[in-house]
Amino acid sequence: MSKGKEIQKLLFDTIRQRVSQHISLVHEIAELLGISYDSAYRRLRGDKELSIGEIEILSNKYQVSIDALFSHNISDVLFRPIILKDQDDEFIEWLKIRVLELQKLSESEKAELIIVARDLPVFHYFDFPELAAFKFYFWKKMLTHRANYHDKQFNINEIPYKYIDLGYRLLSLYNQLESVEIWCQDTFTRIMQQIEFCRVSRFFLHKNDAMLLYEKLETLIRHMQYQTEQGCKFHYGEKIAESNDENIKIFFSDVLLIDNVVFVMRNGIKTIFMTHNSLDIMVTTNLKFCNQVEHALRIIMKTGNHISGTSALDCNRFFSSIYSRLEELKKEAIPDKSIVL
């Protein structure tokens, strides 16, 4: 295959990953380029090469880096950024992007999803609105430094339902997918550290808000433990049938060094999503890089402890240490023992 046809195939393979399967790619290409369906078919099959102008139109429409196409098999690794915008509804767009990615994954004939979780994946918080509300508050105050959050305190009674409803949909999609998560101690303790930081810094409007968050977090952790034991994902409060198939595998590694990373393979195309600046995402389909990350993840899965499904002893050992740490923080959060600054 010539270099031109190889790049053209890669371009169309990338575009296919970015549109829903119910959309006719032939119709999309024909409309966008102003050509007949037959001409679109010939370009998709590689019988006719795209012109430079057509490549530019397609890459702009579907946000495919031309540099990435031409450097796909060399040492340079190019990333497409997904950056949180500085606007009132930035988290709406942030969540919509994640909903779209999971929708495309669920529509794929063959898909694989592996998540390295140095922090608990955001999906899991949306069954517990108070915890989700705290995460959004913390991100806005400490990471995006929104001006109107400079002196704002967290009020556990203020639930941003415009985020929660969309997040609940995100969790529902995630629960339907087969996935692998790789955890370490930080996976659950990071949010504990964030709650404690806000408590000590007197960011809570009410003295007992920290305690209420810890209690909600304990409920979430117990729900996560139950899902881990069953090897099956489901919403909190739902009953699971005995016929439910296992759709999640959990591995624990106490020597995990990789930060939050998501490996996705859809219909043979590999993609890496890497956290940048805590909330922003860097995305690449560079094959060599994706293969390297996949190889590292499979080594972690092979050498780490498989704690889901039938691994009751390892599962209990992992969660016992989490509960111990949580109990220590709950004692510190008793209102009459609050730190006065």
Q: What is the mean pLDDT of residues 123-137?
A: 95
Residue with tokens 């999906």: 123
When comparing pLDDT for 63 and 106, which is higher? 106
Q: What is the pLDDT of residue 77?
A: 62
Residue 1, pLDDT above cutoff 60: no
| pLDDT tops 90 at residue 276 | no
**Which residues, 6 or more positions from 106, have their beta carbon under 8 angstroms from its beta carbon?**
173, 176, 177
- pLDDT for the residue numbered 65: 67
pLDDT at 25: 85
194-226, pLDDT tens digit by residue?
999 999 999 999 989 999 999 999 999 999 999
Q: In sequence order, which residues have a C-beta less than 8 Å from that of residue 43 and are 6 or more positions away?
A: 8, 12, 29, 33, 35, 49, 50, 54
Residue 340: predicted pLDDT: 46
Query: Residue 126: CB partners within 8 Å, gap ≥ 6?
Result: 132, 164, 167, 168, 170, 171
Identify the pLDDT of residue 339. 46
Write down the pTM of the prediction. Answer: 0.78
Q: Residues 173-196: pLDDT tens digits?
A: 999 999 999 998 889 999 999 999
CA 27 to chain centroid: 31
pLDDT of residue 115: 94
pLDDT band, residue 257 (cuts 50/70/90): low
Q: Has residue 142 got a pLDDT over 70?
A: yes
Tell me the pLDDT tens digit for each residue of 21-62. Answer: 677 888 889 988 999 989 988 888 888 888 888 888 888 888
Contact 68, 286 (CB under 8 A): yes
Asked whether the predicted pLDDT for residue 341 surpasses 50, the reply is no
